[in-house]
Chains A and B, each alone.
Chain A
Amino acid sequence: MFRWIVWRDLILAWRRRTDVLATLFFFVIVVSLYPLGIGPEVQLLRRIAPGVVWVAALLASMLSLGRLFGNDYQDGSLEQILLTPQPVYLLVVGKVLAHWIVSEIPLVVIAPVVGLQFGLSGNTLALIVVSLLLGTPVLSMIGSIGAALTLGLRSANVLVALLVLPLYVPVLIFGAGAIEASIGGLDAKPYLLLQAATLVLSIVFAPWATSAALRISVE
């Protein structure tokens, strides 16, 4: 059942590729806006790069959350999925995994290219990839709680932002801290370990909250 739901979501996302690509281009555009707004001085860009990359990843991730449960909710299949005898916890993990593969992995792949715009070196670019790989699943997991709580509401997009961004702050702090440590030549391992810890915590606890929120929203 778990594999089925991951595969189903991947196929559905493949049929609507433009949604996915739109999120990716949003990320690229947002990151590109900062040098245009602040000026091309390389030293300054290097200092703001960690924060900019991570904030853009946060915003792009938030934009894609409506797609996580929204389409299934609207055509009624979410209700049917909740009625299966399998634990909703596993189904949520499956959907979030598919969402992560489809929405966040493109960000992780394109991030080093975007990092070049900020004048970052090879080591740091590799670290950006690792940091985003560790952090983006957390974004999807925590975002799924917000997506489940705001299913079908009027101003769902803005409300999801309001609910989920405060919970994203630790991820932002650790992720940007890791990249900043690398730029400064320090060891980024403490930050990466903290990111891994938040990853493990969110994988264990977030689907529980999400499945409770789904039951509340679908009734």
Chain B
Amino acid sequence: MSKRTINWYKYAAPANFYPLAGKMIPWFATASALIFVVGLYVSFFVAPTDYQQHEAYRIIFIHVPAAWMGMFLYVLLAIYAGIGWAFNARLSSMMATAIAPTGAIFTLISLVTGSLWGRPAWGVWWVWDARLTSTLILMFLYIGFISLQSSIDDARRADRAGAVLALVGVINVPIIYFSVQWWNSLHQGATITAKSFKMAPSMLAAMLILLAACWIYSIAVVLVRVRCIIREREHEAPWLAEAEA
């Protein structure tokens, strides 16, 4: 084997990925904490007061990034699970299992913060419009994925069954995204499109900074979780005993 060829699949082995993840975690964790501080500062002290909703609108800076992360993490989960199923790659399926709780928590945060925002802005805690209903269904899909995997004892069967469920449910994410265009909705339409953004630059900056913070936090947390899953599943492997020693 020539020394110049790159082994692209090196980190597909849990034994190689485990120490790499261990080294990545501190960087992502501290970066996330710092970006959160910066983002919260910008969202509270730099972004101006909304002329209609006064200060209550600031919950948008958590609500929107959480909603985006919930949807994005589900699609990512489906992709990892699909790859793990198609190529029989264990680590890919372990990543899918690791992503699920984080995605569920972000979806829950988006539902709760949305509800808290809806009360002052629309006067109601909840409406059954298309976007809220399909986000609630996303929450149920996450919970279904987690419970299905936890109720199957054989790890590989759990991985594949979860993959089927995740791929069947992925149709829901575009529905959430386009629901405000397709149906009349109390929820506001898309403010940020590829061509323009209709909000003050500092508000947009705060939202994007907090989105980056949530994203990097997700990476850190998922890596920690996947290391735990690797330890559980590979507990008999000799490399693990050496790594722990």
Chain A residues lying within 8 Å of B151, measured Cβ to Cβ, are 150, 153-155, 159
A78: shortest Cβ distance to chain B, in Å? 15
B interface list, Cβ under 8 A from A: 133, 137, 140-141, 143-144, 147-148, 151-152, 157, 160-161, 164-165, 167-169
Which of chain A's residues has its CB closest to B172's CB? A166
Would you call B148 and A149 a contact (CB within 8 A)? Answer: yes
Q: Is A209 an interface residue (CB 8 A)?
A: yes
A150 and B160 CA atoms in complex are apart in Å by 12
The 8 Å CB contact of B161, one of A162, A166, A216, is A216
Would you call B168 and A162 a contact (CB within 8 A)? Answer: no
Chain A residues lying within 8 Å of B165, measured Cβ to Cβ, are 149, 163
Given A162-B144, A166-B169, 7 more contacts at CB 8 Å? A145-B164, A149-B161, A155-B151, A159-B151, A167-B168, A169-B137, A216-B157
Interface of A is mostly: helix
8 cross-chain CB contacts under 8 A: A149-B165, A154-B151, A159-B147, A166-B140, A169-B133, A209-B168, A216-B161, A217-B157
Number of A interface residues, CB 8 Å?
Answer: 19
A111 and B157 CA atoms in complex are apart in Å by 39
Would you call A166 and B144 a contact (CB within 8 A)? Answer: yes
A90 and B149 CA atoms in complex are apart in Å by 28
A216 and B160 CA atoms in complex are apart in Å by 7
A166 and B171 CA atoms in complex are apart in Å by 12
A interface list, Cβ under 8 A from B: 145, 149-150, 153-155, 159, 162-163, 165-167, 169, 209, 212-213, 216-217, 219
Chain A residues lying within 8 Å of B140, measured Cβ to Cβ, are 162, 165-166
Given A145-B168, A150-B148, A213-B164, decide whether A166 and B157 contact each other with a Cβ distance below 8 A.
no
A217 and B153 CA atoms in complex are apart in Å by 12
Which of chain B's residues has its CB closest to A145's CB? B168
The 8 Å CB contact of B157, one of A145, A154, A162, A219, is A219
A165 and B136 CA atoms in complex are apart in Å by 12
A167 and B148 CA atoms in complex are apart in Å by 15
B174: shortest Cβ distance to chain A, in Å? 13
A145 and B161 CA atoms in complex are apart in Å by 10
B86: shortest Cβ distance to chain A, in Å? 11
A145 and B141 CA atoms in complex are apart in Å by 14
